[in-house]
Structures are given as C-alpha cells and as structure tokens.
Amino acid sequence: MRNLKVIMAYRGTAYHGYQRQNNGITVQEVVERCVGKVLNEPVTIHGCSRTDAGVHARNYCFSVETSSSIAPLGFVRGVNGELPKDISILSCEEADPDFHARFSCKGKEYLYLLHCSECKDPFTTDMACHYRRPFHADLVYEAAQHFVGERDFRAFCSNCAENTNTVRRIHSFDVEIAGDKVKMLVKGDGFLYNMVRIMVGTLLDVNEGKIPADTLEAIFAAGQRKLAGRTAPAHGLYLNRVFYEEHELNS
C-alpha cells in the first residue's frame, strides 16, 4: 500500500463542515467519493482537522492509503476533474507509511478575515465577516498578545467537558490591516472547539469597549466561557496553514 499526502483548498459555504456526518453534506464525503472514483477503490481520507460548517481552508492536508499506481500529478488532475468547483486539490506526494495527516501534525495557523466598511462587499459574501464599526488595530493587536504562550483556554472554548485538557500553546497572534481589510493570523500547536472564533469575538468586544483589555487575564483565571466575548461568525475563518515540522511552527 502507498500512503499519499494531499493538500487541498475548499470554500466551506455549502458544507456542514469537514467531517462526514448524517445530517448534511460534508467536505470529507465529497472528496472521498471523487478520490475513490479516480483510484477505482473505496477509500477513507484522514484529515488534519475538523472544520465547522461555513469555515474555509486555504491549505488542508489529508492522507490516504491506496493500492493504485497512479502518479501524484495524475492524482491531482484526475481528482480535480471530479470535484465540484468549491474544492481543489493543490498537491499530492508520496509519504512515509506512518505519516498521518492528523497525528503527524505539529501545529496549525488560522486566518480570520474582516471586511471593515459601512457597506457590504458583494464580492466577499460568505468569505469575510462584514464589520461596520471603526477598527482600532493597535488596541486589538496589544490585546491579542494576551493569548500568546501556553495558557489554559477553557474560557475560550465551547462545550468543553470538565475533564478536557484545555491547555494550548499559541505561538503568535498577528493583526494586519490594509484599507478596509483586516487579517488576524493565529498560529498554535492545537486549538479547542470554536477557540479561534471566540478569541476573535473577544477581540472585537475589546475593540468596541465591551470588554476592557486589562480584564483578559482575569477571564483566563476564571476559566468561564460566559466571561469571554462573542463567537465570531464561521464564514470569516480559514485554516490557513498546517505544519509538519517544528521549525515551520516556530518561525
């Protein structure tokens, strides 16, 4: 059996998240069907992460085992020929037999995209969060640095069970602004359910003066979800990069 490492991108608008489920169409089931058709065998793809309904991915990794002798370029071309227009295979390469897209992953980077304007942009519908209020980049960046480091993120997780390990390490949290576009980039070794969207929502509440930045440490200490900010909409969130080498994560 060969083991393939595959990178894809997808627009999550039409899907009920990545992982296969019974109550709606998902990225996994669509990709598995198309990959299986090209390889002429039933397959299960192993994704690097779950993404929620409406969340996008610029670089999403999955691994798949196959007995097919198809060349990597043939795989890319063949599967892209079967996929719908909102999913694309970007690359395929041979991987070691023990490579697993999820368990071999060292960390991830998420992007949250805001369109800051009084008027909505019809070209970013479902691809960026429309935000009408003035955006104070310096204030938000300074507040975002409270998230950097190894912290207990229980207050920034949805539906975390009491016995869940909620300690994660965030390596960086950057805020970039260009015209009416704002990018928030957060890189870490792992993320809890809705963690990025809650961090972004909390920063938007800081931006609006609803949560003073100097209370963020108290929110961490209390560990209560109700003290943190809103959950930002899913459609502004992208899985931006996946890291399989420590030096990439730490750079």
Note whether 166 and 154 are within 8 A (CB).
yes
Cα–Cα dist 140/157, whole Å: 20
Cα–Cα dist 142/129, whole Å: 21
> Any catalytic annotation for residue 52?
yes
Bridge partner residues of 3 (DSSP): 65
Question: Could you tell me which residues come within 8 angstroms of residue 190 by beta carbon, excluding any fewer than 6 positions away?
Answer: 107, 108, 168, 169
Catalytic residue of the set 52, 126, 189, 205: 52
Provide the token pair at 166: 């909620």
In DSSP notation, 59-106 reads EEEEEEEE-----HHHHHHHHHHHS-TTEEEEEEEE--TT--TTTT--
Active site residues: 52
